[in-house]
Chain A
Amino acid sequence: MTFNRRTFLGTGVAVAASLSAPMVMGAGKPRVVVIGGGAGGATAARYIAKGSQGAIDVTLVEPTRSYYTCFFSNLYIGGFRELSSIAHSYGKLASDYGINVVHDWAVGIDRDAKTVSLAGGGSLPYDRLILSPGIDFVDGAVPGWDVSAQNRMPHAYKAGSQSELLKAQIEAMPQGGTFAMVAPPNPFRCPPGPYERISMVAHVLKEKNPTAKIIVADPKPKFSKMALFQEGWGNHYDGMIDWIGPDFGGGNVEVNPDEMTVSIDGEVTKVDVCNVIPAMKAGRICELAGITEGNWAPVSGHTMQSRMDENIHVLGDACAQGDMPKSGFSANSQAKVAAMAVRGALTDSKVFPAKFSNTCWSLIGTGDGVKVGATYEATDEKIAKVDGFISATGEDAELREATFEESLGWYAGITSDMFG
């Protein structure tokens, strides 16, 4: 790789050289196009626009006018949040930061011409492109399921109407009915997400349908916060949740949406609600851009630049970067490093060494919050974990309540960091 990174080199000579390096750009303002208005894209657009004070032209392409955060959508399913409280608009990014917000789908990228084509017919030129499209599902990952079955068997792993649908189905379950989840293989968006969801479903059922059963078929022997969730499930929902790991066939699953059955290791069960969370891959635009390797888009941890095109940065769930979990917090953290790198490349702004962090809060029951967090730094090979912590089992109720309160503060903080 011969990236002309403007990363700080640590010697006075190098700094002087990098600060006085001539801009390489055409006439007029440099243009940045950001695809995807979630935790990665919205944050990157806002930080580039805010930091460059009009020196960079920023366009954000996002199909939805009202964006539902995936984080906290489980709390909506559990009845702890209104759906409207996780909806956000892009008005402030346009009015307060001068970002050109385009509500359209990006359907193609011409890397030689450096243009993005839109479903609506337009074309956007860029000097730097930021891709933060989130996830799509791997075709055929769960035999019997495809996107045409997502009404009968919702994934609810992209928030909004899918979350509403799953919540309505849970609430309509017959007394003593069965809820099944098909959990995804690694790596996937939000490692504790499926298990927080199970907690939220159990919370709803315990109140409305206490004889109902929950089955989780899981291809993974271990999952994030496993000891905390299993302890919490025992404390709050004793006997309701049956987690079936790969040793008992949890990885050998087939579904039949017409019959509403799930087959786990050949044993067929009739269920009332089936939440299928298939294996994931980078949002399809990454594939169309030709910057994926396997299911994800590999990037350099120093700048979040694609390993295949130095004019493209990939953020969040879609990128393969190393140790950071695919989470909204991670995407937000990566967006700030990318914004700094893009501003450094296109204008005179300073570039500092990349630093990243992540914390994932999960709610297990009323007032029972837990968290896991880590800090990360870039090596030439990847983004590497350097430190971390996790809530302990057996913590007292006061600490768990404080952890939950803190998660509410984080939600307010990150969404104002994304949307202004």
Chain B
Amino acid sequence: MRRLGGVILAWGVLFGAAQAEETATAIGDTDRGERLFQQKCGSCHMVGEGAKHGTGPHLNNIFDRKIAQFGDFLYSEGIYRARRDGMVWDLDNLDAYLTNPKVLVSGTNMDFRGLAKPEDRGDILAFLRGYSSSPQDIPEAAPTALKQDEELSPEILAIVGDPDYGEYLSTECTTCHQLTGDYDGIPVITGWYEEDFVLAMHAYKRKLRPHPVMQMMASRLSDEEIAALAAYFGTFE
């Protein structure tokens, strides 16, 4: 029972009492976003099937598009300058632009005071996201939800990992890494010292180590989860 108690405590820390089933956070409420879009943006911008440019360009496929890509729309000099600088309409830039357009692009023609409430921006962006490519069809398309960011804490090495949880988490690793310890082009991850494993995973998480798959996998692991994986993989000879 001692270990079970520890597990429950760890879970409480990880997910908090309010956490129910959702593990990712939605960008916003698309229905409310649609209403807000019509009120705040709709007089200048169109989105959806058959959308055309108006006072502002249409917003189909805006996510992850380089700025100012329409040859048939005349943008402001400020927007063209941002294009030369390589700006892309990702979620962060769109959110900044909706907060206050002139902060992101000096001299923009978009005559809009901005939306102070993060919730309003999130809802509009969630609505607009539905009119850009789906990751199901184009896996590299922009995310549709937000992940929880995890910060590196000084106590990480003191965390005792739960090997049962590690075993479940490890199923993501074994799509590529073989538990038998066989090497066919993907490194062996069994039988490491726990501390080495933890250090390596945190180096990926902080993008100090270069591999994109590992950076991505590690970036969403909490400290407890990395410890659990280290504990589980450490049980192999």
Contact = CB atoms under 8 A, between A and B. Distances in A.
B150 to A, nearest CB: 12
A389 B168 CA distance: 24
Given A11-B17, A186-B137, A388-B135, A374 B216 contact: yes
Given A325-B136, A390-B140, A373 B175 contact: no
A357 B23 contact: no
B155 interface: no
Contact of A323 (B18, B21, B135, B175): B135
Contact of B24 (A47, A377, A389, A410): A377
A37 B178 CA distance: 20
B23 A378 contact: yes
A414 B175 CA distance: 5
Contact of A302 (B21, B137, B212): B21
A385 B143 contact: yes
Given A11-B17, A359-B213, A386-B147, A353 B23 contact: yes
Interface stretch (B72-80, B96-104, B109-117, B182-190): B182-190
Interface in A187-203: 187, 191
Interface stretch (B8-16, B50-58, B195-203): B8-16
A374 to B, nearest CB: 6
Contacts of B18: 10
A389 B22 contact: no
A290 interface: no
Contacts of A416: 178, 180, 182
B26 interface: yes
B71 interface: no
A168 to B, nearest CB: 29
B119 interface: no
Central interface residue in B15, B22, B139, by most chain A CB within 10 Å: B139
Interface residues of A, number: 69
A7 interface: yes
Contact of B184 (A354, A378, A380, A412): A412
Contact of B147 (A223, A224, A387, A406): A387
B215 interface: yes
Contacts, number: 189
Interface string A54-75: 0000000000000000000000
A77 to B, nearest CB: 21
B144 A323 contact: yes
B208 interface: no
B213 A187 contact: no
Interface string A379-420: 111001111111000000000000001111111111011000
Contacts of A191: 137-139
Given A47-B171, A388-B216, A378 B178 contact: no
A209 B66 CA distance: 39
A322 interface: yes
Interface in B17-59: 17-24, 26
A409 B184 contact: yes
Interface string B114-156: 0000000000000000000111111111111111000000000
13 contacts: A10-B11, A11-B12, A224-B140, A324-B136, A325-B139, A355-B169, A380-B21, A385-B144, A385-B145, A387-B219, A408-B185, A413-B174, A416-B182
Interface of B: 4, 8, 11-12, 15-24, 26, 133-147, 164-165, 168-169, 171-172, 174-178, 180, 182-186, 212-213, 215-217, 219-220
Interface of A: 5, 7-12, 15-16, 19, 47, 186-187, 191, 220, 222-225, 302, 322-326, 329, 332-333, 336, 340, 350, 352-355, 357-360, 371-381, 384-390, 405-414, 416-417
